[in-house]
């Protein structure tokens, strides 16, 4: 019996592969490598000493996907695959709905053909939209502020409806806060192409000298130092959360949305100063205009994850930024050395 990981070569996906393999699971990878590299899967084999089949496929290719389910006894799916750049989604909504939502529909149809009734879905705190009451908890009303978020919302809703229609189906919707850091080996990590949208890869590229200085998008927010607060969570803690969700889904039917965050908030300046302190590398930065859509603060209630999954984040910001720097330093050009 195997677990199919879609988007397994991606940032969170590759870390989840390591965690699941180390816990003894058999896995199968399906990834179209449009936003990732098969080198990440080679690194996963190197870290774990375990091999696994990997298929290059787009989820919208029904026949290729069907062939994977024919070749392997898939018991559950962890669905990471999806486009995830908020700004890009505003410019290309049709591509985002086609890739993220339609790809998920094809996947779920093939799962139904083969009687697979368990999915862990890579969702995002972005479904809380412009919620201002902190900490964010799973009972809060949802509402998105960009097409990327709406695709995550739509796939969540599809899974909620599927579980209502089929009481044997099990879906866990994991709402990530801000994943950062890398496996301690420095062999896998966040590898965005082009100029990074997210804070930490931008910081590490400044540290490695690839980018000159970090734009701090506004320091006039309603926060202690004026820069936005976020709940940064170590990607290895996030990976452990997926394994805990797998165990939960094996024992429970129905649909549950669960936050994966630390419950702690750090500002942009906190990140810069912590990075400089733990790594001894200066991060030149300047105050730039606000970025559209950025909220003052976003951090997680961790109560439900602790109660249902018996999981809580263990690593702090120091670990996240030390590990992020090790990955970047050892892989200045990411996977395409």
* Active-site residue set: 148
For β-strands 170-176 and 254-260, DSSP reports them as parallel
By CB under 6 A, is residue 291 in contact with ligand WQD?
yes
Q: Does 192 bind ligand WQD (CB under 6 A)?
A: no
**CA gap 240, 306 in Å, rounded:** 12
Q: Is 310 left (phi over 0), alpha (psi -120 to 50) or beta?
A: left
Check binding of 197 to ligand WQD (CB under 6 A): yes
Q: Which residues contact 208 (CB under 8 A, 6 or more apart)?
A: 328, 329, 332
Q: Report d(CA 149, CA 131) in Å as an integer.
A: 13
Instruction: List binders of ligand WQD among 222-261 (CB under 6 A).
Output: 228, 230
Among the listed residues 217, 276, 308, 316, the single contact to ligand WQD using CB under 6 A = 217
- Compute φ and ψ for 54, nearest 5 degrees: -135, 125
For the chain, what percentages of helix, strand and coil (3-state, to nearest 5) are there? Answer: 40, 20, 40
At closest approach, how far in Å is the CB of 70 from ligand WQD?
A: 32
Instruction: Write out the binding residues for ligand WQD, residues 26-65 only, by CB under 6 A.
Output: none
297 binds ligand WQD (CB under 6 A): no
Buried b (16+ CB within 10 A) or exposed e, 63-100: ebbeebbeebebbbbbbbbbbbbbebbeebeeebbebb
Number of residues that bind ligand WQD (CB under 6 A): 19
Stretch that binds ligand WQD, among 72-80, 208-216, 275-283, 316-324 (CB under 6 A): 208-216
Q: What kind and span of H or E run contains 17?
A: helix 11-22
**Phi/psi at 287 (5° precision):** -85, 120
268 touches ligand WQD by CB under 6 A? yes
Binding residue (CB under 6 A) for ligand WQD from 8, 9, 199, 321: 199
Q: Could you tell me the smallest distance in angstroms from the CB atom of residue 291 to ligand WQD?
A: 5
Judged by beta carbon, residue 117 or residue 237, the one nearer ligand WQD is 237
Q: Per CB under 6 A, does 198 bind ligand WQD?
A: yes
Binding span for ligand WQD by CB under 6 A among 36-44, 108-116, 195-203, 237-245: 195-203
Of residues 101-140, which lie at the interface with ligand WQD (CB under 6 A)? 124, 126
Q: Is there binding between residue 176 and ligand WQD (CB under 6 A)? A: yes
Binding positions for ligand WQD, rule: CB under 6 A: 84, 86, 124, 126, 176, 178, 197-199, 202, 214-217, 228, 230, 268, 291, 294
């Amino acid at each position: 019996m195997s677990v199919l990981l879609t988007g397994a070569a991606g940032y969170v996906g590759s870390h989840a592969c390591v965690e699941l393999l180390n816990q003894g699971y058999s896995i199968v990878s399906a990834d179209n490598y449009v936003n990732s590299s098969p080198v990440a899967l080679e690194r996963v084999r190197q870290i774990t000493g375990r091999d696994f089949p990997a298929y290059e496929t787009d989820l919208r290719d029904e026949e290729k996907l069907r062939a994977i389910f024919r070749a392997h006894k898939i018991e559950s799916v962890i669905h990471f695959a999806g486009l995830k750049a908020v700004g890009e989604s505003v410019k290309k909504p049709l591509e985002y709905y086609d890739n993220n939502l339609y790809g998920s529909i094809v996947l779920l149809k093939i799962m139904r053909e083969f009687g697979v009734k368990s999915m862990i879905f890579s969702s995002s705190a972005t479904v809380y939209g412009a919620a201002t009451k902190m900490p964010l908890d799973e009972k809060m009303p949802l509402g998105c502020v960009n097409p990327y978020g709406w695709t995550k919302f739509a796939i969540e809703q599809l899974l909620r409806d599927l579980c209502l229609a089929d009481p044997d189906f099990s879906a866990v919707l994991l709402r990530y806060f801000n994943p950062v850091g890398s496996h301690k080996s420095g062999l896998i990590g966040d590898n965005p192409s082009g100029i990074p949208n997210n804070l930490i890869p931008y910081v590490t590229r400044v540290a490695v000298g690839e980018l000159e200085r970090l734009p701090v998008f506004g320091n006039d927010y309603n926060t202690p130092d004026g820069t936005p607060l976020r709940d940064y969570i170590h990607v290895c803690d996030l990976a452990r959360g997926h394994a805990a969700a797998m165990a939960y889904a094996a024992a429970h039917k129905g649909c549950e949305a669960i936050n994966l965050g630390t419950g702690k908030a750090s500002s942009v300046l906190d990140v810069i100063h912590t990075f400089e302190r733990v790594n001894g590398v200066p991060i030149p930065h300047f105050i730039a205009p606000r970025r559209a859509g950025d909220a003052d603060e976003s951090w997680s209630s961790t109560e439900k994850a602790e109660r249902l999954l018996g999981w809580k984040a263990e690593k702090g910001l120091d670990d996240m930024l030390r590990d992020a720097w090790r990955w970047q330093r050892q892989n200045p050009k990411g996977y395409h050395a």
